[in-house]
Every structure is written in C-alpha cells, then in structure tokens.
Amino acid sequence: MNQVLTAAPLSHYVLLSSILFSIGVLGVLFRRNAIIIFMCIELMLNAVNLLLAAFSVHHSDPSGQVFVFFIMAVAAAEVAVGLAILIMIYRNTGSINIETLSNIRH
Amino acid sequence: MNALISLSVLGIVAMLSEIFNFKKFLYSLILLGLVAAIGVNVMEWGQFQLWYGMMIVDEFTLAFSGVILLTGFLWFLLVADNHQDKAHISDHFAISLFAMAGAIVMVSYNNLSMLFLGIEIVSISMYIMASTQKNDLGSNEAGFKYFLMGAFATGFILFGTALLYGATATFDIQKIGVFVTEHNSELPAIFYAGLILIMVGMAFKISAVPFHWWAPDVYTGSPTLITAFMATIVKTAAFAAFLRLFITCFSGVELFWNQTIMIMAGATILLGNITALLQNDFKRILAFSSVAHAGYMLLAVLAMNNQSGGSLLFYLLAYSISSLSAFAVLLAVANLKGNTNVQSFKGLAKKNPFLAFVVIVAMLSLAGIPPTAGFFAKYYIFTAAIANNYVGLTLVAITGSIVSIFYYFRIVIVMFEGDESTEVTVGSNTKALLVICSVLVILLGLMPDFLIGLLK
C-alpha cells in the first residue's frame, strides 16, 4: 500500500487536491442549485482529506490520517443539518434555487 | 476545562429533561448550572494544564471562558421572556449549551484539530438555531446562508491546516510556532499558502471585510434572540481563536501578514460604520455595528504585544454586555410593535425611562464615550496598536468611531421624539439582565484596571 502511495511524487498530490479544491470553490461561487453547492462543499472537504493523507504518508506521521476521520465525521453532521435546512426551504418556497433566497435585504 | 465539562453535562441534562419529564425545572437548573460553571472557572484561575497537547488551560483560556460563560448566563436571562417555542425548549437549550461548549473549545485549543472541532461545534449549533423559525422565510434564508458561508469558510481553514501540516508535520500550534521561528528564512511556499487560506477562513468567521457580506443578512434574518447569541458569544470565541492562532503560530512571520490584516481592519471599520449609517432597521444597524467592531478588534491582533490579550478581552466583554442590553430592549420593543424598525423606539423615553436609560448606556458604550466600558475598551486597543506603530490605522479607527456616534445617537434621539402612550413591559429576568449589564458597563468604565490587569 505504501509503495502505491509513494509511487507518485508528493507534488502531484498537492496539485491534484488543489485542483479539486478550486473546482469546489468555483462551484460554490457560481452554481445556483443548492444540492450542487452541497456537492461542491463536499468536494472541497475531500480535497483536504486527500491532501492530509498524502502528507501523512510523506511525513510517516499518523496524525494526519486521524484528522481525516475527524473531517469525515464532522462533514457528515454538517451536511445532515444543511439538508434539513434545505428541506425546510423547499417546503416553504417549492424551490431549491438559491436565487429565491434574497428576501432579507430591504 | 471544568467549565467545558460542566457545560457539556448541562447540555446532556437539558436533552434528558425531555425523557425524564422535568422540563419545568430545566430553565432554573440551567441558570444554576451556569453560575456553577462560572464558579469553577474562577476557581481554576492561576492553574496551567495541558491536556495531551490537545487543549491548554492557561490564563488566556480561563479569562475568555469567563467572558463566554458570563455572556451565556446573561443571554439565558434574556431567554425567559422571549422564547416562544415552548414545545422544543429542551432541544433549544441543549443546542445553545453545546454551542457554548464549542466556544470554550475554540478558546482553549492547542492543536489545529481541536480548533476545527470547536469551530464546527459552534457552527453546526448556530445553523440550527438560526433557522429555528420554520415557517419564517427570513429565518430559513439566514440559516441557509450561514450554513453555506460556514461550510465554505471551514473548507478554507481545513485546506490551510492541511498545507501547514505538510510544511511542518504537526498540528500542535506551539510546535508550529517553534518551527516558524527556527526556519524563519526558509519556510516552504505551501506554508505561506496555508497561512493565507487560514487567514481567509478565519476572516469569514469574524466577518471582516471583504468576507463580511453574509453577516448583516444572517444577523437580520435570524430570530433576534439568536442574533444576540451570534453577535456576542460566537464573536468572542472566534476572536479569541484568531488571536491565539496568530500569536502562537504566526508571530514569527508577522511581516508577511500584517499588511493584509491592516487593510482588512481599516476597510472593516470604515465600511461597517458607513453602511450602518444608511440603515433604518435597528437590528440591521446592530448587525453592521458588529461588523465594524470586528475591525476595531483586529487592531488587537495586529498589536502583537503583551497588551493584545488584555485589550481584546476588555473589548469583547464591553462589546458583548452593551450589545446584549441593546438586544434585550430591542426584543421587548419588537415583541410589542411587531417590527425592529428604528421608528418603533419613538417615544420610549416618556413611558419607559428605565429602558431608555439602558439604551443610552449601551449606545454610549458601543460608541466609545466615557464614562462607559466601551471608551476604555477602545482606549486600550488603540494604545496597544500605537505601541506597535499602527498610527495611521488608529486614526482611521478613531474616524470610524466618530462616524458611529451618528447612528448610535439616532436611536437615542428617536426615543425622545413624540409621545406614544404604549408602555413596554419587561419580565423580571430581562430586568435583572438590563440592570446587571448597565451596572457592569458603568463599573468597567469607572474601574477598568482590574480586568485589563488579568492578562499580561
């Protein structure tokens, strides 16, 4: 397993997770569908997970991989709350387009 | 640490009250529990403990935990009159107690993983609290915006943490600080990238310009009770976390980030104050003023000397208690008039001289006029910043606080206009809160030395 992970140089992992993270950021900023925005947030968090695992192997230090578990658990809790809020919004407005959510500014 | 344990136990008790049917006593039980938590927190003063390198108990932790617990206690006094949803009272109390526990984790972390957990415990609780009014679209929108912004900012903080881990091979903030001073000239590029990303993420959390746009909407849309919680307790925790992170980890590379924070602070002060001038809704004015106050508090982070901790502590306490009393009066008025517009304060001084007095004290303090706590809060922060040669920025901050006088005093002027005959009634708990806050504001303004001497 370790050979597989170290076969590619560290810079490739950094590059890949940076690209994934950027795709996530751009998705959050430019997509209008709330579900897709949630997916993009997950993409950002999973880019972090990949990066942490790569650095963890590189440094031969397990704490990075433990952090990955923290992120996974917390991300699940966060999205559970987020989806609950989204369902509430869908019940009230009948839409999950975030354009419908601009009533506060008056 | 004991405060964290007692808050978590209280939260669990609040959840159990649903099963064992003692919801009637829950409220008084929580007030007692919070007093006990303040007690154990004070008892711990002077100790130094490191919990497996994850959490640290030092004077910084205990002082900021004290502010959080005191504000939390006062906030719970406010809950008695203003909590409408009696059916879900145990859930709501449990969530707010867990949010406070998360806030204490945020002020006592010694490891970036604990910072992450603390931020998430607070944030997830606040997403739920912000959207508790299920049928109110404004509350839905506020919860959703808060969620999106929070998750987005967390993503930045995490990516930054991962890059710092790549550069330093540790999550321990003290070890990172040592690494930074040892390798000062040869830090890898990913370290700086990580620093920038963490800075952006934290700027989102403390609502500094240009990452502040979510705050006014979320503060306005949430139920006013919850806005009071966000503007005080969550802000305290976020700033304490910000200061600890930058003092422990990044003080060695101060020249790299101080320009950015300086511009952020100046922009936050100016934009927050000027936009607040243009608002007609008192809740929105308080939201923008909270953005502006974040700018002043950034000066304490910039100062980076032994006055930073003490001046930030003083500022946060002064700001929290003044805001809480303003929110308490706003809630009482809004419950009667049905809206939070500035005009609904018309004629308040005639029929309710006590409430008007409280508002005047709170506004004086928020504007930073002696003899209130807000004056010394600004004074200490400005002297700390000047001691580190931020004279220009301090002048901007003083200009900002002069601008702020206009919108704070607008409320005071409106209160003395007209003579509407409706009397605003407040319950005994809210009255106690208003008395405690006003007395504290004046007391801190008259004798500031005690509090400022706590952190040296």
For residues B9-18, one letter each, b for 16 or more C-beta atoms within 10 angstroms of the residue's C-beta and e for the rest, the string is ebbebbeebe
User: How confident is residue B111, by pLDDT bands cut at 50, 70 and 90?
Assistant: very high
Residues on chain B touching A14 (C-beta within 8 angstroms): 166, 190
- Looking at this protein, which amino acid is placed at residue A69? F
B141 and chain A in contact, CB less than 8 A? yes
pLDDT score of A5 = 66
pLDDT score of B87 = 82
Distance from CA of B330 to the nearest CA of A (A): 18
pLDDT score of A1 = 56
Give the residue, B22 or B174, on which the prediction is more confident. B174
Burial of B351 (0-12, 13-18, 19+ CB in 10 A): middle
Query: Are residues B56 and B109 in contact, defined by beta-carbon separation less than 8 angstroms?
Result: yes
- Range with the lowest mean pLDDT among B95-109, B239-253, B416-430? B416-430
How is A12-60 classified by DSSP, letter by letter? HHHHHHHHHHHHHHHHHHH--BHHHHHHHHHHHHHHHHHHHHHHHHHHT
* Distance, CA of B241 to CA of B248 (rounded, Å): 11
* Distance, CA of A22 to CA of B207 (rounded, Å): 22
Distance from CA of A11 to the nearest CA of B (A): 11
Which residue in the block uniquely carries the two structure tokens 């809630």?
A: B331
For B48-68, the pLDDT digits (tens) are 999 999 999 999 999 999 999
pLDDT score of A104 = 65
Q: A92, B137: Cβ pair inside 8 Å?
A: yes
* Distance, CA of B392 to CA of B397 (rounded, Å): 9
Mean pLDDT of B343-352: 86
> Which of A51, A66, A101 lies nearest to residue B162, judging by beta carbons?
A51
Distance from CA of B111 to the nearest CA of A (A): 11
Owning domain of residue B234 = 2-452
Binding-site residues on chain A for chain B (CB distance < 8 A): 10, 14, 17, 21, 24-25, 28, 34, 37, 41, 44-45, 47-48, 51-52, 55, 58-59, 61, 63-64, 66-67, 70-71, 74, 77-78, 81-82, 85-86, 88-89, 92-93, 98, 101-106
Q: Which helix (H) or strand (E) holds B57?
A: strand B55-57
* Distance, CA of B89 to CA of B79 (rounded, Å): 10
Distance from CA of B112 to the nearest CA of A (A): 9
> Which of B131, B134, B162 lies nearest to residue A52, judging by beta carbons?
B162
CA of residue B359 relative to chain centroid, distance: 19
For A27-55, the pLDDT digits (tens) are 999 999 999 999 999 999 999 999 999 99
Residue B421 reports pLDDT greater than 70:
no
Query: Are residues A52 and A68 in contact, defined by beta-carbon separation less than 8 angstroms?
Result: yes
User: How confident is residue A2, by pLDDT bands cut at 50, 70 and 90?
Assistant: low
Which residue in the block uniquely carries the two structure tokens 């091979």?
A: B169
In a mutagenesis test of the B interface, which of A49, A55, A68, A106 is the best target, namely the one with the most B β-carbons within 10 Å? A55
Helix (H, G, I), strand (E, B), or coil: what is residue B419?
Answer: coil
pLDDT score of A101 = 79
For B246-266, the pLDDT digits (tens) are 999 999 898 999 999 999 999
Mean pLDDT of B149-169: 95
User: How confident is residue B38, by pLDDT bands cut at 50, 70 and 90?
Assistant: very high
Taking CA–CA distances from A54, the nearest residue in chain B reads B166
B175 and chain A in contact, CB less than 8 A? no
Give the residue, B13 or B451, on which the prediction is more confident. B13
B343 and chain A in contact, CB less than 8 A? no
> Which of B134, B152, B161 lies nearest to residue A28, judging by beta carbons?
B152
> Which of B142, B190, B220 lies nearest to residue A14, judging by beta carbons?
B190
For residue B300 the two structure tokens come to 């304490």
* Total domains, chain B: 1
- Range with the lowest mean pLDDT among A66-75, B21-30, B269-278? B21-30
Mean pLDDT of B407-430: 86
The one-character DSSP state at B111 is: B
Rg of chain B on CA atoms, in Å: 21
For B71-88, the pLDDT digits (tens) are 999 999 999 888 877 788
- Share of residues in chain B with pLDDT > 70 (%): 100
B370 and chain A in contact, CB less than 8 A? no
- Range with the lowest mean pLDDT among A83-87, B94-98, B419-423? B419-423
Report the topology of domain A2-98: Helix Hairpins (1.10.287)
Q: B158, A45: Cβ pair inside 8 Å?
A: yes
Instruction: Name which of B74, B112, B154 is nearest B322 in CA terms.
Output: B74
What is the rounded average pLDDT for all residues in chain A?
90
CA distances to A35, B109, B211 from A48, rounded to whole Å, are 20, 21, 21
Residues on chain B touching A24 (C-beta within 8 angstroms): 155
What is the rounded average pLDDT for all residues in chain B?
92
User: How confident is residue B425, by pLDDT bands cut at 50, 70 and 90?
Assistant: confident
Q: How many CA atoms lie within 13 A of B145 on its CB side?
A: 25
Helix (H, G, I), strand (E, B), or coil: what is residue B412?
Answer: helix
Which residue in the block uniquely carries the two structure tokens 């945020």?
A: B106
Question: Domain segments of chain A: what residues?
Answer: 2-98
Q: A104, B140: Cβ pair inside 8 Å?
A: no
B196 and chain A in contact, CB less than 8 A? no
